[in-house]
Structure 1
């Protein structure tokens, strides 16, 4: 995790910590809600915990940590773009460099998963099993097209921030609330779904924009009561919206629920995100004191260095454990959701953690090659307009592809996704294709997108 800076310079260790904490909770949260069951015919199923054991929906209040990603992302991107802009960089060049750092590792991950899907489909793996595995390996992808779009819009969002400051996230929040009420009162489908999709940018954009405000001191200083107001106001608003209001408590999509907080992001999700931002600011000084300890700081930096790998690959250990312990009938299987089942969650997490550590270690050579490749292929920050169309076209295609994978998985219907796979190659290739640049313009800071901004 590199590139996070305070006003004018210096790293912000607390923001590094927020990213590290978010990574841990995303990984652990996905592992906790993933439970495997071996059926009498030998097949493995993964019942949906939040739907099967409804009280577990309350756990999502602690594990829905995506606001921290977007808060840190806005903090980092705002500073990075302002420095590039001051040095004469163009919006297209800066956006292109950010897109390369995101799309290159994602394309490699997706390509390897798609290769495995193709091989499995060719040898006759059961389509239902293949679809389930393809979905498991794509469940974290939803974050990427949203973040890619916000990164592309950063020059515009920063311009709005320079002029109107806190009024920008306030206005976005008002519009998002209106869209949310329209969605919940509508019957879905057609225009309602299209309008609702705007909230992916508006709700998460509010938190992203608050990252700009935080970096520029608009959430502290003379406004010392603002973090408390955000925490209390967001928390109370969430309680009202999920109590007497129409939204469910779960902050993760639950099959069978007519109203969702994530598809698209709802007013309740917005309230929870605002509360989370306020809470992070309130505890900042105490956490910073802990981060002064050498061992803690070293652990945070170490986790940051592998954040992209952890985020992309953390569901692979579930497949490894399924094959090693469930297909072989070695895993004990108390009744799903019972006390015995919960007692086995800790060993489950420890085994998955050990496997993931091996995966991360095994991927280190690939990470080094990707880092070198990124440095050679990314466009210059002074990219000229004559070549900039490649960046914007590549981002457009990539957003469509990643959105498809997020919604359908890597093997929808048990089949190899030919069109999406071609789109992945085309979109990534357009962004990676070097364009003409102006000499003497500094490059964007090194480091992966999740390391620096998410």
Structure 2
């Protein structure tokens, strides 16, 4: 990337990916029972003090902050070049949906084969849940991407007042959900609460726009110095002030909401915990996200200096290039290790959550890291095919008319299917999710509907494979 700020945004993505992977691996513990069954007790519920660890591992605000920063710049350039909202959204959607659809296709194929082979429905449901536990992010991010042209128009007019207003509405929605109870309107209240997925994470996404435009105490894109990319003493002091207020204010708000309010400390869903900070995102989650944004701005100068090193930048760039693969496939190594060491009884079995169990977390993480490296290497040919296919089917920048409406419909269907997988896994109740599988295939097909190139025919699979080779 060209500027220091671009490097820092890429660093945030890479750092977030690393913590997501390590966090999921750390809280996943397997137990082999005398009858041979393998279960995965919920660490955060079984060992409650571990809920404090989520304060460090709940790093998704960084994804939305970096995503808003990058999307804002991308949409500004597309708009200046005469691109339409549908064309820009379609190009972004193809980049997301192609690898996700390939992942889902392979996982669903495995689910179908296992179901036909008579695998225990409970085991199949557990595995299907594990392979989809990261999916909640995808429909939210896809929706925010689709709304970016409208959200950025609001940003250009009202700037930081937009995330402030969204935060106020999120607070009102959270209060309505908290007071909704289990009465006759419980279903409507639950549907209302789902808005906070867009509102809470949308606040952070919108702050990415503000950060890029220097509205968090900075002076705009490209300066690359000081907090928020500011030059000059007074500008730097103003940037530090804004970042400090966000970090301290957000952190203090979270502490009050947890210490005096009804919210738990866990920033990851814990079964049976009500209210939850993530399902839907609560005002406590919003406070923590604002604090994280402030910390990101405060540490930016030091991290930027670190990123000037060629070796560090190579690592960041490599992680960024593999980020989608790592995000989608990082739970597969857990299944591989479970089959190799737990089904066979080779894994030692100290008491769950005991000091001995924690000591084994180190080799557990190292083995999973080695397996994931092999998985990433094995997937490189598929990544090349998807890259070439994505370039061939990406919508035109000026997409309009019926084709644009088809694309919006495809995004809507894809969001529904991804939401189903996020909430139910790939084998809910041990059954193959036919409706969601068809929905994702249909939605992805509508988004990446083959376009004609240079007067030629539709994209051919053989041509894509030849280009990838």
State TM-score, norm by structure 1.
0.93
How far did residue 409 of structure 1 move?
0.1
Paired with 1:348 and 1:309, the residues of 2 have a C-alpha distance of 21
- 2:322 corresponds to which of 273, 287, 306: 306
Give SS of 1:268's match: helix
Following superposition, which runs of at least 4 residues in structure 1 exceed 3 angstroms of deviation? 434-437
**1:15-45 CA-partner distances (Å, limit 9, x unpaired):** 1111110000000000000000001110100
Structure-2 separation of matches of 1:56 and 1:431: 41
Shift of 1:385: 1.9
Q: Does 1:211 align with 2:208?
A: yes
Task: Indicate conservation of the 8 Å contact 1:397/1:426, yes or no.
Answer: yes
C-alpha change, 1:435 and 1:364, in structure 2 (3 Å) is closer
Question: Offset of 1:293 from its aligned partner?
Answer: 1.1
Return the match for 1:73 from 62, 67, 83.
67
Partner of residue 166, structure 2: 172
CA contact (8 A) 1:247 1:260 kept: yes
Q: Retained in 1: the 8 A contact 2:167–2:200? A: yes
Alignment equivalent of 1:243, drawn from 259, 269, 291: 259
Q: Is 2:49 the counterpart of 1:59?
A: no
Conservation of the 8 A alpha-carbon contact between 1:145 and 1:402: yes
Q: Does 1:283 align with 2:269?
A: no
Partner residue of 1:197?
194
SS in 2 for 1:283: helix
SS in 2 for 1:218: coil
Within 5 A, what are the aligned runs for 1:403-442? 403-434=419-450
Instruction: Tell me the residue number matched to 2:84.
Output: 90
- CA apart distance, 1:436: 8.7
Match in the other structure for 2:117: 123
The residue matched to 2:396 in structure 1 has which SS? coil
Aligned residue number for residue 336 of structure 2:
320
SS at match of 2:96: helix
Shift of 1:384: 1.5
* C-alpha contact (below 8 Å) 1:181/1:267 kept by paired residues: no
Task: Extract unaligned runs of 5+ from structure 1.
Answer: 440-454
Contact 2:253/2:284 (8 A) holds in 1: yes
Q: Distance in 1 between matches of 2:28 and 2:270?
A: 13
- C-alpha deviations, 1:232-258, integer Å up to 9, x for none? 000000000011100000000001112
> Contact 1:34–1:49 (CA<8 Å) still a contact in 2?
yes
Aligned counterparts of 2:317 and 2:37: Cα–Cα separation in 1: 41
Distance in 1 (alpha carbons) for counterparts of 2:267 and 2:399: 40
Distance in 2 (alpha carbons) for counterparts of 1:51 and 1:109 = 30
Q: 1:260–1:266: 8 Å Cα contact kept in structure 2?
A: yes
Tell me what 1:384 maps to.
Answer: 400
Provide the C-alpha distance between the structure 2 equivalents of 1:12 and 1:81, rounded to a whole number of angstroms: 16
Match of 2:138 in 1: 144
State the alpha-carbon separation in 1 of the partners of residues 151 and 264 from structure 2: 31
How far, CA to CA, are the matches of 1:229 and 1:174 in structure 2? 18
1:219 Cα deviation after fit: 1.0
Report how far residue 220 of structure 1 moved: 2.5
Residues 1:134 and 2:128 are matched in the alignment = yes
Count of aligned positions = 433
Q: 1:386 Cα deviation (Å)?
A: 2.5
C-alpha distance in 2, partners of 1:168/1:13? 26
CA distance in 1, matches of 2:272, 2:404: 44
Q: Which of 134-143 and 425-434 deviates more?
A: 425-434
Q: Is the 8 A contact 2:131 2:331 kept in 1?
A: yes
**Paired residue secondary structure (1:329):** coil
**Cα RMSD (Å):** 1.5
Q: Secondary structure at the match of 1:12?
A: helix
Any conservation in 2 of the 1:309–1:360 contact (CA below 8 Å)? yes
Corresponding residue SS for 1:282: helix
Aligned residue number for residue 349 of structure 2: 333
**Residues 388 and 435 in structure 1, CA contact (< 8 A), matched pair in contact too:** no
1:346 aligns with 2:391: no
TM-score (norm 2): 0.91
Who is 2:389 aligned against? 373
Query: What CA deviation, in whole Å up to 9, does each residue of 1:264-312 have, x standing for no partner?
Result: 0000000000000000000000111111111111110111110000000
Relative contact order (alpha carbons < 8 A, sep ≥ 6): 1 or 2 greater?
1
Return 5+ residue gaps in structure 2 as ranges.
219-234, 456-469
Asked if the contact 1:107–1:428 (Cα under 8 Å) also holds between the matched residues in 2, the reply is yes
Q: Distance in 1 between matches of 2:26 and 2:61?
A: 20
Could you say what secondary structure the match of 1:219 adopts? coil
Partners of 2:250 and 2:79 in 1: CA distance: 34
- The alignment partner of 2:274 has SS state of coil
Counterpart Cα distance in 2 of 1:11 and 1:362: 33
In structure 2, distance between residues paired with 1:108 and 1:80: 25
Output the CA distance in 2 between the equivalents of 1:11 and 1:201.
Answer: 26
Preserved contact between residue 393 and residue 451 of structure 2 (Cα < 8 Å): no
Q: Which moved more, 1:113-122 or 1:425-434?
A: 425-434
Query: Offset at 1:185?
Result: 2.3
Q: 1:11 Cα shift?
A: 5.9
